[in-house]
Structure 1
């Protein structure tokens, strides 16, 4: 079932349940042979930083750091909203594997025609 799939994530430690479920879905999409991007915006951009997700573990789910690692190792990409990243003063030299800082045009290009997406 080829094709692109986007998970838009605007949360991090401000709603760890949403952050966790977003990566559960992203991993499911990768397992379904989709080309998957997790778009990190607003507070979600904080997840792009090494070590930030280390203490996030929602009951009933794998730790978020493990979900993120599995996602990146499977070829998933994390597009990090550039203005959101800059607003929060985050460190470009501290990005987790699979994360890349992008502008909105890159996301729009990936979405293309009829790309399914979900938001958390």
Structure 2
């Protein structure tokens, strides 16, 4: 059984380096056969929002779009905060396919089951 890792990301376009580093770590963990769930809260929801995530890029790194696509294609999972999206007027159809909308209880259950958590 693989290790379970939960990464909580609350940064987005306002801090592209922080957001990117969360994805770098997530993709590295997937490459090491870990089971990885990213919980996107606050501005982190923008990293999977159509029309926004394509434009997030930190200097010296690949664009978030590439990191997100790698994460999804390699089996990574997302929980996207429902209240955070509602607060930002982001509808479910604006969120990338393959992302699951969730509230805190579902995210907390995953966090308690994980061996390791990272927060960005």
TM-score after normalising by structure 2? 0.91
Report which stretch shifted further, 107-116 or 6-15: 107-116
Gaps of 5+ in 2: none
Q: For the Cα contact (< 8 Å) 2:81–2:102, is it kept in 1?
A: yes
Deviations 1:16-50 (A, max 9, x none): 11011110001011111111111110111122212
Moved over 4 A (4+): none
Distance 2:50 2:85 in 1: 14
Q: For the Cα contact (< 8 Å) 2:45–2:81, is it kept in 1?
A: yes
For these two proteins, the number of residue pairs brought into alignment is: 120
SS at match of 1:44: helix
Computed over aligned residues only, the root mean square deviation of the Cα atoms, in angstroms, reads 1.5
Structure 1 partner of 2:73: 73
Q: For the Cα contact (< 8 Å) 1:49–1:91, is it kept in 2?
A: no
SS at match of 1:11: coil
Report which stretch shifted further, 110-119 or 10-19: 110-119
Distance 1:43 1:32 in 2: 28
Distance 1:10 1:61 in 2: 19
Distance 1:113 1:77 in 2: 15
Gaps of 5+ in 1: none
Deviations 1:46-104 (A, max 9, x none): 22212311122222211110000000011101111111111111011121133111011
TM-score after normalising by structure 1? 0.91
